[in-house]
Structure 1
Amino acid sequence: MSTISEVGTDIFRVNLELEPDFDVSCFVIRDEAPTLVETGFRKAYQDTYDAVRRVIDPRGLRYIVVPHWEGDEAGALEPFLGQAPHALPVGSPIGAMTTLPEVGDRAPLALEEGDELDLGEHRLVALITPYVPTLDGMLAYEEATGTLFASDVFATPTLGGRAVSDGDDSDAMIGFYETVGVFPSREHLDAALDKIEALEPDALACHHGSVKGGRARPYLRTMREQDVTGVTSWNPMRE
């Protein structure tokens, strides 16, 4: 069953632990234009939908942000769109040109670098991050709370199920990447880190593991210093 935690003003983490030390999260932004960042796996859709419904009426979603096309990030996009007649899928220009038009019955919204999505009290700014971790990569930064929706960047194991971690869990992050891989290119990762560092985010809302609150700099430094590139065949959804 998914758990829900408020991790910023009107920002809610919907988290599902899939196996020991491996979880996925999506994030609900409650605002004039209700927004879902990531959807989780399709096979977990009903559980995720029920959790989102405890925060907002999912039928009123206006935007569903897809940082990149993978099953854990966007597998449940189609059923969410089916329930939310006015929701637009939102992605990078490459995502909006390739994968997103194949899902649902409405044209996606493409965000270029620096484009802003006005939700009311919250405002999302797009960071286009090709190959972080996939060609269509995009991160979103919420200006009012200083929250970076970091997707697979700064990911960790579950960290004991904590919704927010205020310590330095850089070692756990490196261990996660040594097991899972993710980033295929050092050059592209450094380019993404440059964009993140310039924002000085107050919180890192990760798709895997706890939200990292108030201590972004140690994670940035560790990502610069350690080799976290490479891809493995690890599959968290194997039967």
Structure 2
Amino acid sequence: METRITEIANGIYRLSIFVPDIAPPHGLTFNHFVILGDEPLLFHTGLKRMFPLVRAGVARLLAPEKLRWIAFGHFEADECGAMNEWQTVAPLAQVAHGRTGCLVSLNDMSDRNPRVLEDGETIELGQGRRVRYLDTPHIPHGWDAGVLYEEASGTLLCGDLFTQIGDGAALTEGDIVGPAIATEDIFRFSSLNPGMGRTIRRLAELAPKTLALMHGPSFSGDGAGALKALADDYDGRVRAALG
């Protein structure tokens, strides 16, 4: 495996590792994102076993010990499995996550006390960059789920939203909704609930220019339209589940 690096928006880099053994023959990408600034942020630490690969990728962008913030969508191995390895490498690095995630997992599992983020709270990264945390409980899964929005570039760090199999382009202007729907049909990874569409449409109100996917290509274009289409599909799934 190798770490491939692509700048998907100004100062935001996708570090992608493709694992062909998951959902063969298609495989699955595991994507990690670095936002540069005076206080650089890593979104998704990666699996603990992937730490050497992700660290080597980060080292091509900045000295790993300069990392200041660690964030992710929810408490799950591929999103935060290596958070303590990163806190060992970077002495000033601190995990930042929503209140629920900190209370139920991170206060115990993180080697250093995490920063608790309230819904809508921001972190200034410097050099004109700022990220805003948004609570998205159970979307697409996890009581503690949330996303980050980088305001200067209009980039939404989506976590597991729009998950799709395969190893396509690093950045696309094509359809990401159809492949996400197809992958949902395969994995059934989302926690269907009546609030799904409403929560995702709230993200669409940001009108993001770039969508950074944990599993799949990043998307450049009408982020609001893609989010609304995904919300419509989930609304249909919820109605079907409720009979």
What value does the CA root-mean-square deviation take over the aligned residues?
1.6
C-alpha distance after superposition, 1:154-205 (max 9, x if no partner): 22223x4311010123211111111122221332322321221111111110
Q: How does 1:1-239 map to 2 (within 5 A)?
A: 1-19=2-20, 20-120=26-126, 121-132=128-139, 133-158=141-166, 160-227=167-234
Q: What one-letter code is carried by the residue in structure 1 that aligns with 2:160?
A: D
Conserved? CA contact 1:154–1:204, under 8 Å: no
Alignment-derived partner of residue 236 in structure 1: none
Offset from partner CA, 1:209-235 (integer Å, 9 cap, x none): 0001113244223312324869xxxxx
- CA distance, structure 2, for counterparts of residue 188 and residue 111 of structure 1: 21
Is this contact kept in 2: 1:140–1:148, CA < 8 A?
yes
Q: Contact 2:73–2:160 (CA<8 Å) still a contact in 1?
A: no
CA contact (8 A) 2:164 2:215 kept: yes
| SS of equivalent residue, structure 1 residue 161 | coil
Shift of 1:75: 0.8
Deviation at 1:58, TM superposition (A): 1.3
Distance 2:65 2:209 in 1: 30
Q: Give the secondary structure class of the aligned counterpart of 2:33.
A: strand
Following TM superposition, where does structure 1 have runs of at least 4 consecutive aligned residues deviating by more than 3 angstroms?
227-230
Distance, in Å, in 2 between the alignment partners of 1:184 and 1:104 is 25
For residue 62 of structure 1, report the CA deviation from its aligned partner. Answer: 0.7
- TM-score where L is the length of structure 1: 0.91
Q: Secondary structure at the match of 1:16?
A: strand
8 Å Cα contact 1:27-1:37 kept in structure 2: yes
Give the count of matched residue pairs. 229
Which secondary structure state, in structure 2, belongs to the residue aligned with residue 98 of structure 1? helix
User: What per-residue deviation string (whole Å, max 9, x for no partner) do you get for residues 18-75 of structure 1?
Assistant: 1233111010011100110011111111111111111111111110012200111111
| Mapped partners of 1:204, 1:169: distance in 2 | 10
Q: CA deviation at 1:96?
A: 1.2
Does structure 1 retain, via aligned residues, the 8 Å contact 2:204–2:225? no
Distance 1:215 1:178 in 2: 24
Give, as a single letter, the amino acid of the residue that structure 2 aligns with 1:96: C
Which 5+ residue runs of structure 1 have no aligned equivalent?
231-239
How far does residue 106 in structure 1 lie from its aligned partner after superposition?
1.5
Secondary structure of the structure 1 residue equivalent to 2:118 = coil
Percent sequence identity over aligned pairs: 28
Would you say the 8 A contact 2:201–2:227 is kept in 1?
no
Distance (Å, rounded) in 1 between the aligned partners of 2:228 and 2:146: 21
Match of 2:23 in 1: none
